[in-house]
Amino acid sequence: MNIGVLGAGSWAIALSVLLHKKGHKLCMWEYSDEAARFLNEKRELPSKLPGIIIPQDIQITNSISQMLEMAELVLCAVPSQTTRQTLKTAVNETNPPVFANIKGWIMASKGIETGTLELMTDVLIDEIPNLKNDRVAVLSGPSHAEEVSRNMPTTVVAASENQQLAQLIQEQFSTDTFRIYTNDDMRGVELAASIKNVIALAAGITDGMGFGDNTKGAIMTRGIAEMMRLGKKMGARDSTFSGLAGIGDLITTCISRHSRNRRMGELLAQGLTLDQALDRMTMVAEGVETTRSAYALAKKIGIEMPITTELYKMLFEGKPAKLAVRDLMMRETKPEFW
């Protein structure tokens, strides 16, 4: 198949290299002309995926219309907070008939948009002309680019309200090291993918503060409870949060040395300000802005998300980490399931 990729960062490259091995024709769009020239010349992104060579017949372009014109499927892999502007650029620079020829849009970005509090598939449907849910899917799960690009066994989920589209992705993207399951709870998968980054920030803070396994286990387990509480209120299924996009991705992101969100939390616990910690990061820590959005969303729909709330106060109100931990531990006692 002809697959266009919005983005040329580590996840976009890892997926493109994987799909190239399946025999698909790939074209990646990079928003920076300078970065696109670098990738075309070097065929590698050493700052993020050192040693991973991009095959010569994967096209890399700074023309978003060129990428879309060749695509039967479009894989969206740009940072969540830039997704809307990227899609606006796509619409502004591409002839309208091109969009009708695209069979499916696959969202691989994870996050909740600041301000609108929309999930990425909502942003996609907002911006692409005449696009409906039956041509939209989400690809998510425990899948660090560093490991996928090196053919380490990985399992993910393709979620869509259109099971034919989910099964098409399963068939076309699965390899002997990349196994895909299908799911029809697209909203649940997106919420899990977004909130796990928030919990991973909190897990990184506990690591940076020198706490142990008890604390990490508590953060992850109560983090799942927050995901499920939010998901239930927004029409998702509880079972989705027990799957790859929920528990699977949460465990991976909270414990992995590759996790940018866990690393961000460590930096904050070491006493860096938010701006200082962001400057240290070579890749986007989606959990920072998602914390802002998740906190606002919880208030809007009237649910409690204690870990998210304390993290928001640390990131954006300057609350000391030790005080945030104490306040979490000293909350009014409750049953485990409420």
- The residues that are catalytic are 196
Residue with tokens 């589209």: 165
The contacts of residue 165 (CB under 8 Å, 6+ apart) are 103, 104, 134, 135, 136, 137
Sheet (strand 73-76) strand order: 59-61, 25-29, 2-6, 73-76, 104-107, 136-140, 154-159, 178-183
SS3 182: strand
Kindly list the distances between the CA atom of residue 52 and the CA atoms of 48, 250, 315, in Å, as whole numbers in the listed order.
Answer: 9, 26, 34
What does DSSP say about strands 154-159 and 136-140: parallel, antiparallel, or unpaired? Answer: antiparallel
Whether the CB-CB separation of 249 and 273 falls below 8 Å is answered with no
Contacts of 61 (CB under 8 A, 6+ apart): 27, 28, 29, 30, 36, 67
